[in-house]
């Protein structure tokens, strides 16, 4: 790898715990954490704010060209406030988690032009050494050369329950059935789209978190990462790479 750092890719369906785990691992290892879903959410926020039709690929593409998206890590240890995301300088970290964004984001994320534009931004962000990047197509399209790839899974019911609880705790007045519908619909669009669908890369390690605690999953992942680091160290010592 050109920067001699470690690149970790995490992919998986909606509400599977990628963000929680991604942040925990990045914090533990002192790595940079990049949530690519937040980028798609940020674009969706701007599209909806400007009343643009979510199917109007050309207009959205122009909007993406004229949008600056920046991510800044905070100093806090609080995982819910781990980083802030800005659209043209405006902090939208809270707004992009609104169920209204969930309702629309996958329609925009399925547009090939938009994905192609965002590949550049995502790869640029990943140029730094030692990163954890999560999304839907990280191991398959954005960083196919990632050192370690994980594909997260959990039962649909558990994922819906997790996201419902999360939204209720944040104070949203939303029904379980609405959350269920949004997650099922998002997964369907994300997996069925032609360009860069949600897919498990051939060399991705499957992590099923159904019925498992956050600590259990974290320990398992850290073990895999540490094993890889030892292996890499030996390779370097033996001049293999
Ligand atoms: O947190 P959650 O799993 O609900 O979703 P997210 O990671 O914030 O992603 C929101 C949406 O962005 C997904 O449902 C996808 O439609 C889209 N997305 C994508 O298409 N490709 C990525 N690499 C990341 C997100």
CA of 17 to the centre of ligand 1 (A): 12
Identify the bridge partners of residue 83 per DSSP, sorted by sequence position: 73
Residue 226: how many other CB atoms lie within 10 Å: 11
Per-residue pLDDT of the chain (241 residues; tens, 9 = 90+): 444 689 999 999 999 999 999 999 999 999 999 999 999 999 999 999 999 999 999 999 999 999 999 999 898 888 889 999 999 999 999 999 999 999 999 999 999 999 999 999 999 999 988 999 999 999 999 999 999 999 999 999 999 999 999 999 999 999 999 999 999 999 999 999 999 999 999 999 999 999 999 999 999 999 999 999 999 989 888 887 6
> pLDDT at position 236, please?
87
**pTM, two decimal places:** 0.95
Pocket test for ligand 1, best of 41, 109, 118, 149 (most atoms within 8 A of CB): 109
Q: Hey, whose CA ends up nearest to atom 15 of ligand 1?
A: 106
Handedness of CA 90, 94, 95, 101 (dihedral sign): positive
Which residues 6+ apart lie within 8 Å of 60 measured at CB?
A: 43, 47, 52, 54, 108, 111, 113, 114
CA within 13 Å, CB half, 95: 16
Nearest to 206 by CA among 155, 156, 153, 158: 153
CA of 239 to the centre of ligand 1 (A): 39
Residue 104 Cβ < 6 Å to ligand 1: no
Pocket test for ligand 1, best of 14, 33, 125, 165 (most atoms within 8 A of CB): 14
> pLDDT at position 1, please?
43
> pLDDT at position 33, please?
95
CA of 173 to the centre of ligand 1 (A): 22
Pocket test for ligand 1, best of 105, 137, 166, 188 (most atoms within 8 A of CB): 105
Rg of the Cα trace of the chain? 18
Taking the C-alpha atoms of residue 150 and residue 200, their distance in angstroms, rounded to an integer, is 8
Are residues 235 and 241 in contact, defined by beta-carbon separation less than 8 angstroms? yes
Q: Which residue has the tokens 């897919």?
A: 199
Residue 36 Cβ < 6 Å to ligand 1: yes
Taking the C-alpha atoms of residue 228 and residue 203, their distance in angstroms, rounded to an integer, is 14
Question: Which phi and psi (to 5°) does residue 42 adopt?
Answer: -65, -40
CA of 230 to the centre of ligand 1 (A): 32
> pLDDT at position 2, please?
45
Taking the C-alpha atoms of residue 134 and residue 86, their distance in angstroms, rounded to an integer, is 18
Are residues 44 and 101 in contact, defined by beta-carbon separation less than 8 angstroms? yes
Which atom of ligand 1 is nearest to 108's Cα? Answer: 16
Taking the C-alpha atoms of residue 49 and residue 56, their distance in angstroms, rounded to an integer, is 14
Nearest to 190 by CA among 96, 81, 97, 115: 115
> pLDDT at position 241, please?
67
Pocket test for ligand 1, best of 9, 34, 37 (most atoms within 8 A of CB): 37
């Amino acid at each position: 790898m050109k920067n001699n750092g470690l690149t970790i890719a995490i992919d998986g369906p909606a509400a599977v715990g990628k963000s929680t785990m991604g942040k925990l691992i990045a914090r533990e290892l002192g790595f940079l954490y990049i949530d690519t879903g937040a980028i798609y959410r940020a674009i969706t926020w701007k599209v909806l704010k400007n009343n643009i039709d979510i199917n109007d690929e050309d207009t959205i593409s122009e909007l993406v060209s004229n949008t600056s998206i920046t991510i800044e890590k905070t100093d806090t240890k609080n995982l819910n406030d781990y980083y802030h995301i800005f659209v043209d300088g405006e902090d939208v970290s809270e707004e992009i988690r609104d169920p209204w964004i969930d309702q629309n984001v996958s329609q925009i994320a399925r547009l090939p032009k938009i994905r192609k534009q965002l590949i550049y931004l995502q790869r640029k962000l990943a140029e730094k050494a030692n990163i954890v990047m999560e999304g839907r197509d990280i191991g398959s399209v954005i960083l196919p050369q990632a050192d370690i790839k994980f594909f997260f899974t959990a039962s649909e019911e558990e994922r819906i329950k997790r996201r419902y609880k999360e939204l209720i705790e944040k104070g949203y007045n939303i029904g379980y059935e609405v959350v269920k519908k949004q997650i099922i619909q998002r997964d369907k669009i994300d997996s069925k789209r032609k360009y860069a669908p949600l897919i498990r890369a051939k060399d991705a390690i499957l992590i099923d978190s159904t019925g498992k605690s956050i600590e259990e999953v974290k320990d398992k992942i850290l073990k895999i990462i540490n094993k890889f680091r030892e292996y890499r160290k030996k390779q370097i010592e033996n001049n293999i790479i």
